[in-house]
């Protein structure tokens, strides 16, 4: 799976769930930890690499569609969404999968398209209120 994600030299090009914006994702290492590097324009977000396996396991357990609910770090995440799970003290890492203070949000916007690209999930692609489920 890791070799499908891309490298700094050749990142994977993806689109947000509404298919309205492009961004790239690649796997790297930072401070001895495997990370997903998400580049949106000039903004770089980092997510803990283990989020892929953890989110996939959560989706399998959930068993149905779940709303993405993307939100910036300083805004509250809607309960019962992928975004809320991605920052919950009850998830496997006990909090944020986003690793860059101030840019830890938007988990529900940028990680699900990578999951879809990897064949681990399917997403809806509506203008708003997108959802995902495991494959």
Q: What is the pLDDT of residues 78-131, one digit of tens each?
A: 999 999 999 999 999 999 999 999 999 999 999 999 999 999 999 999 999 999
Enter the tokens of residue 84: 């809320």
Specify whether the CB–CB gap between 68 and 108 falls below 8 A.
Answer: yes
Confidence of residue 135 (pLDDT cuts 50, 70, 90): confident
Helices (H) and strands (E) counted in the chain, each on its own, are: 4, 7
Tell me the Ramachandran region of residue 64: left when phi exceeds 0, alpha when psi lies from -120 to 50, beta otherwise: beta
pLDDT digits (tens, 9 = 90+) for 50-66: 999 999 999 999 999 99
pLDDT surpassing 70 at residue 29: yes
- pLDDT for position 1: 63
Q: What's the distance, CA 99 to chain centroid? A: 12
Whole-model pTM: value is 0.95
pLDDT surpassing 80 at residue 2: no
What is the average per-residue pLDDT within 61-72?
96
Q: Rounded to an integer, what distance in angstroms lies between the CA atom of residue 75 and that of residue 55?
A: 21
Residue 41, classed as helix, strand or coil, is: coil
Name residue, tokens 């298919």: 19
């Amino acid at each position: 799976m890791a070799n499908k994600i891309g490298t700094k030299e050749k990142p994977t090009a993806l689109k947000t769930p509404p298919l309205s914006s492009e961004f790239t994702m690649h796997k790297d290492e930072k401070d001895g930890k495997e990370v997903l590097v998400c580049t949106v324009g000039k903004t770089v977000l980092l997510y803990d690499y283990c989020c892929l396996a953890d989110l996939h396991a959560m989706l399998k357990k959930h068993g149905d569609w779940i709303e993405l609910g993307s939100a910036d770090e300083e805004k509250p995440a809607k309960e019962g969404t992928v975004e809320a799970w991605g920052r919950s003290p009850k998830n496997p890492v006990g909090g944020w999968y986003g690793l860059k203070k101030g840019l830890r949000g938007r988990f529900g916007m940028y990680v699900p398209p990578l999951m879809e690209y990897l064949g681990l999930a399917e997403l809806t692609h509506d203008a708003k209120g997108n959802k995902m489920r495991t494959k």
